[in-house]
Amino acid sequence: MFDVEILLEDCPGSLGRMGTALGQAGISVEGGGAWVTEGRGVAHFLFEDGAAASKALGNAGIAVGRVREVVLLRLKQAVPGQLGILTGRMADAGVNIETLYSDHDHQLVLVTDRPEEAQRVANLWACS
């Protein structure tokens, strides 16, 4: 799975144009979110094929930042503090979490500066 950073205009219809471009290309969004910061729209969405999503958006004149592999895992929902424990372990391993959201299957999506190390930490955490 891939996170696609999408740079949007801060105006009505930007998300609609994005969704339409993806839909016309037959590409489904698997999770993510969008917000406005300092007058710029920024979205991070999860796709099975990041390159295809990026191409569809580019063809529609929508700017794409980075396309990156993600780490997916499920938090132990019944145990309070899981997010703090997991992110603390990532920090201890020197992994910077740059983007965090959830997918449509209730999995945590992590975009990090060191995906291989983040996956190692996530695997160890999941076994604990």
The DSSP line for 2-18 is: EEEEEEE-SSTTHHHHH
Q: What would you report as the CA-atom Rg of the chain, rounded to the nearest whole angstrom?
A: 16
Q: If pLDDT is split at 50, 70 and 90, which confidence band does 35 have?
A: very high
- Number of Cβ within 10 Å of residue 63's Cβ equals 11
Predicted confidence (pLDDT) at residue 13 exceeds the cutoff of 80: yes
Predicted confidence (pLDDT) at residue 115 exceeds the cutoff of 90: yes
Stretch 14-29: mean pLDDT? 97
Q: What is the pTM of this model?
A: 0.92
Per-residue pLDDT of 41-72, as tens digits, reads 999 999 999 999 999 999 999 999 999 999 99
Q: Which residues contact 104 (CB under 8 A, 6 or more apart)?
A: 30, 31
Q: What's the confidence (pLDDT) of residue 78?
A: 85
- Interatomic CA distance for residues 119 and 19, integer angstroms: 30
Buried-state track 96-118, b at ≥16 Cβ within 10 A, e below 16: eeebbbbbeeebbbbbbeebeeb
Q: What's the confidence (pLDDT) of residue 21?
A: 98
Give me the percent of the chain exceeding a pLDDT of 70.
100
Per-residue pLDDT of 71-107, as tens digits, reads 999 988 888 999 999 999 999 999 999 999 999 999 9
Predicted confidence (pLDDT) at residue 128 exceeds the cutoff of 80: no
